[in-house]
Amino acid sequence: MKQKRNIKDFTLEELEGYIVQNKLPKFRAGQIFEWTYKDVESFEQMTNLPKDLVQKLNQDLYIGRAEIEVKLVSKEDNTHKYLLKLQDGNAVECVLMEYSYGRTICISTQVGCRMNCAFCASAIGGLTRHMTSGEMLEEVMAVSRDVGERISNIVLMGTGEPFDNYDEVIKFLRTVNNQKGLNVGQRHITISTSGLVPKIREFADEGFQCTLAISLHAADNPTRNTLMPINKKHRIEELIDACKYYIKKTNRRITFEYALIKDINDFEESAYKLSNLLKGMLCHVNLIPINKVEEKVFDKAPKTNINRFKSILESNGIEATVRRELGSDINAACGQLRQQYSKAK
């Protein structure tokens, strides 16, 4: 029996290919695509399609939808954390956050992660599998459906390394940005990477106007080797060269994520090293007070160290902000809820 495919895994161009292959008028692809992102539950709800096409779609395809397994809402700042159950029973996390400019969803790109960053809960248990573009789209749609409003800001910063699942992430970007899809502007999308250098260069050549965020977390190789094993493959110097290439190609500012960890990377010397590393680059540093993870030994840097670190960067001409801590009462850092779910199962 032929396995059905999730219609949300098709880009508009791929859907056109499917329609033409089945000797149907090409314009039908646009109609089906639009209905899909109006969030219909069945092909029968696509009311301007002929019955024989609906029958064909039912034979070959399905409309993938995720089930909300767990939903937590912060009493402190109204952050929503979701554990979504996928069609195969695997579960992924996403987080909806409130900012002055609107709501932002942080989505996962893999079930698990193999980057094994020392302070992160997402990599506990390793990588189960890549997510498809349609599953990523459904994260946005499932949460939008739940809160009853459109979400116009997306960060790919949840569980997984987006550039380790490069092709599906690119497909996701094309559909989420398509006017007939979810129609989210590229400048409202941020993609985070731990530093897969060849993919940073490849992404620069794609011509997207998204924001690129680099999970840096250290300004010297010995410290970064300890925190982020990817650094043993792509050292800081190579990573910074790729970032400069990205800025030159896109003229877009890069965000460097720096999680401040007590007695590891929160020293004054660390701030001066980071200042020297990023000097003259079109960039911004996002300082992150690290979330405590039960299975990890790292602690959050003291507030005085965080403020001093920021002050040193700014005095050296590096723009820096301290990320607001959202959802701290519901363990809003990715990986923690999924771990609890896996243990319970």
pLDDT tens for each residue of 88-107? 999 999 999 998 888 999 99
Calculate the dihedral angle through the C-alpha atoms of 115, 143, 79, 188, rounding to the nearest 10 degrees: 70
Let me know whether 24 and 82 are in one domain: no
Q: Specify whether 288 is located in the same domain as 160.
A: yes
CA angle 333, 105, 324 (to 5 degrees): 55
- Please tell me which residue in 94, 106, 210, 334 is annotated as part of the active site: 334
Confidence at residue 292, expressed as pLDDT on a 0 to 100 scale: 63
Please tell me whether residues 152 and 227 are part of one structural domain.
Answer: yes
Name 226's Cβ contacts closer than 8 Å, sequence gap at least 6. 118, 218, 264
Domain that holds residue 24: 5-62
- For the question of residue 334 being annotated catalytic, the response is yes
pLDDT for residue 122: 80
Q: Domain boundary at 40, 62, 84, which?
A: 62
The string of DSSP letters for 81-96 reads EEEEE-TTS-EEEEEE
Examine the fold and report which residue of 45, 62, 79 is the final residue of a domain before the chain moves on: 62
**Do 50 and 115 sit in the same domain of this protein?**
no
Which residues does the chain have with pLDDT short of 70? 1, 292-296, 331-345
Q: Are residues 244 and 264 in the same domain?
A: yes
Q: How many domains does the structure of the chain reveal?
A: 2
pLDDT digits (tens, 9 = 90+) for 120-157: 878 788 999 999 999 999 999 999 999 999 999 999 99
Residue 105 and residue 23 share a domain: no
CA distance 108 to 186: 18
> Same domain for 190 and 45?
no
**pLDDT of 33:** 98
What is d(CA 264, CA 345) in angstroms, rounded to the nearest whole number? 35
**Looking at the structure, do residues 95 and 49 belong to the same domain, yes or no?**
no
| 88 and 58 both lie in a single domain | no
Q: Is 41 a catalytic residue?
A: no
Here the tokens at position 80 are 């929503």
* CATH number reported for the structural domain that contains residue 9 in this entry: 1.10.150.530
* Whether residue 125 sits in one domain with residue 50: no
pLDDT for 26: 97
Burial (CB count within 10 angstroms: exposed 0-12, middle 13-18, buried 19+), residue 120: buried
- pTM summary value: 0.93
Q: 260 — phi, psi (to 5°)?
A: -85, 120
**Are 194 and 295 in a shared domain?**
yes
pLDDT of residue 325: 73
Is the domain of 56 the same as that of 75? no
State the CATH number of the domain containing residue 88.
3.20.20.70
Question: Which of 16, 93, 168, 257 is an active site residue?
Answer: 93
